[in-house]
Amino acid sequence: MKLLLPLFLSLLPAAFAAFGVTRSGSNYVVDSGGGLVTTINGNNGDITSLNYNGKQLQDQSKFTHLSSGLGTSSVSSNIVNGNIAVITIKTSTITHYYIVRSGINTLYIGTYASAEPSVGELRFLARLSKSALPNGHPSAEIQGSSSTVEGSDVFAKSGQTRSKFYSSVPFIRDQVHGVTGPGVGAFIIVPGVSYETSSGGPFFRDINNQGGDQQEVYWYMNSGHYQPDLPLQDWVLRYALAITNGAAPSPNLDTSFMDSLGLQGYVPPSGRGTVSGTYSGVLSGQTAVIGFKNSAAQYWATGSGGSFTRNLMKPGTYDVTLYQGELEAGSGRVTVSAGQTASISISVNLSRPNTIWSIGTPDGTPKGFLNADKIETMHPSDSRMSNWGPITFTIGSSSEGSFPMAQFKSPYHDQMEREFLTNCYFWYLRARILGARTLRIRTTGSFAGARPSITVNNWTSSVPGAPTNLNSRGTRPRHPLSVTRGTWRGINQSYDYALPSGVLVSGSNTISIYATSGSSGDSFLSPNFIYDSVELF
């Protein structure tokens, strides 16, 4: 028996290990007591090991960290109430927390930053073992790619395209994302309140995953990836990396235990307020979203039946936006006080003319248009895309799905001087269309100053002023090309063209729409804009 006892003890499962933090050289080893053992480098805060029931989930050539690593940092540990382990990593501008609760295989994470990291963006990046966790987002799997299509991060694979950008999901829908393997999963959980000091608004989207030599899982708090809003300062964020048996965790992450941990900049529920209100005027069939924003925080709520409620907001005065789909349709202001409920009523103030005809719905998206169902997960050059044009669209007979979601100045390598035209032919009785009319084109974003200009029969419009350039908004736009990077979300713009009396004639009329810009570019990197809708009234 004396010889068998040591052998028996060595075979006890990891689940019997005790919760706690130990030191191993300069490292901190945090045991959840439930099967997850996390090792954190005591010099820079990198996670160097994620051992789950004996399986190593952490890639051993590149580690898990904030941004691209914090570099030399002050790292310390603390045990609270005997069942919460807090690892604190501090630099001169960032305080980053990893928190483990006894018996729970989840890393709860808090980040406070008083300045942007030197890499120019704030993100959490888990670099995980590809062999342990091979299953990520299919459109972000780049292993086996034969070449790049654009820059160094959009890849070609048998005529199809792959990129980390195609793993993105709008913030309003992105509460859980992750990767899996046999009997294991690693998931980022982002509760709604965590976005309060991110930036970009409810429909902004950013990288979630890339499957290369490592399995990379991201949560981007702010970046320059076609970012329509300026980044917020003094971020205080709550999110988590949950390790499971492969099943996706609940998005309802309980962070109430953080209230008493004394985290830097943390605002508990008692220091927050609520907004409850009503909205009106949103088109039938369109989702109503109410956004709140000031220089320190952002929030949103989805409306239902003409009312909405948003709780857990930090005190302050907020600009309020009513979205019809993704289109800014109404505005207001509200002041939030701790422990109080503020009220607001907000309505759509969009111009709603009686249209003679329309293509698409004013909702801030190109949904329903040609290739709009594919653009979020593939490059415009992908072999699965439908032919981009030139397109001839006939009012009254062509289907909306044949109208292109985006327009490029020069989409063809062998025809660089050729404009991409959308030619619209329509027939109406003289009494309906003759006289002065207005053509309205709504766009959701543009690249390189592209905006629509038009020719109607023999009449040519003036060229509108250039749209807002996201490259000049102080947001470090490393990748400003929306339509090639899996999103249509930029700055919604409306262009009205006044057609003088006599321009429209009885019988056939031809409208040509051009992507106009003083800049040039190659193929799908030429100046371009994305359609929301086209209306004649």
State both tokens at 400. Answer: 């909306």
Structure-derived torsion over alpha carbons of residues 486, 227, 195, 111, reported in degrees to the nearest 10: 110
Ranges 263-267, 375-379, 427-431, 496-500: which has the least confidence: 427-431
- Say how far apart CA 433 and CA 457 lie, in whole Å: 14
pTM: 0.90
Residue 418 pLDDT > 50, yes or no?
A: no
Q: Which residue has the higher pLDDT, 235 or 322?
A: 322
Q: Are 355 and 294 in contact (CB under 8 A)?
A: no
Cβ distance 219 to 190 under 8 Å? yes
Partners of residue 342 on adjacent β-strands = 275
Question: Distance of CA 389 to CAs 294, 525, 537, Å?
Answer: 42, 16, 26
Q: Is the pLDDT of residue 181 over 60?
A: yes
| Token code pair at residue 123 | 């993100």
**Confidence band for 12, pLDDT divided at 50, 70 and 90:** very low
The single-letter DSSP state of residue 431 is: H
**Alpha carbon distance 91, 333 (integer Å):** 37
- Stretch 326-336: mean pLDDT: 98
224 Cβ contact partners less than 8 Å away, ≥ 6 residues apart: 120, 121, 475, 476, 477, 478, 479, 480
Mean pLDDT of 318-323: 98
Closest CA to 137 of 167, 181, 177: 167
**Nearest-angstrom CA–CA distance, 101 and 94:** 23
Contact assessment for residue 129 and residue 211, using Cβ atoms and an 8 Å cutoff:
no
The encoded tokens of residue 478 equal 């490393």
Least confident of 30-39, 41-50, 195-204, 281-290: 195-204
Mean pLDDT, residues 287-291 taken together? 98
User: pLDDT band at residue 193, thresholds of 50, 70 and 90?
Assistant: confident
Residue 56 confidence (pLDDT): 98
The residue length of the chain stands at 537
216 has a pLDDT exceeding 90? yes
> Which residue ranges form the domains of the chain, and what is each CATH number?
16-260 (2.70.98.10), 269-347 (2.60.40.1120), 357-536 (2.60.120.260)
> Can you say whether the dihedral through the CA atoms of 162, 208, 103, 70 is positive or negative?
positive
Share of the chain above pLDDT 70, in %: 87
Instruction: Give me Rg for the CA atoms of the chain.
Output: 27
CA dihedral 248, 217, 229, 290 (to 10 degrees): 0
- In this prediction, residue 226 carries a pLDDT of 58
| C-alpha span between 36 and 15 (Å, rounded) | 9
Q: Which residues contact 263 (CB under 8 A, 6 or more apart)?
A: 95, 97, 110, 112, 236
Task: Report how far residue 47's alpha carbon sits from residue 219's, in angstroms, rounded to the nearest whole number.
Answer: 16
| 3-state helix vs strand vs coil in the chain, percent to 5 | 10, 45, 45
Give the 3-state secondary structure of residue 292: strand
**β-bridge pairing 47-52 and 235-244:** unpaired
3-state secondary structure 351-402: CCCCCCEEECCCCCCCCCCECCCCCCCCCCCCCCCCCCCCEEEECCCCCHHH
pLDDT attached to residue 479: 47
**Could you tell me the pLDDT band of residue 232, with boundaries at 50, 70 and 90?**
low
* Residue 156: strand, helix, or coil: strand
With cut-offs at 50, 70 and 90, classify the pLDDT of residue 424. low
Distances (CA, A) of 145 to 62, 155, 157, 281: 21, 6, 5, 48
Rounded distance, CA 66 to CA 129, Å? 18
- By C-alpha distance, which of 442, 429, 395, 449 is closest to 506? 429
Neighbours of 537 (CB within 10 A): 15
Query: DSSP string covering 433-502, please?
Result: H-S-EEEEEEEEEEETT-EEEEEETTEEPPPPPPPP-GGGSSS--SS--TTTTT---S--EEEEEEE-TT
Specify whether the CB–CB gap between 364 and 325 falls below 8 A.
yes
Q: For the segment 57-84, what is each residue's pLDDT rounded down to a tens digit? A: 999 999 999 988 999 999 999 999 999 9
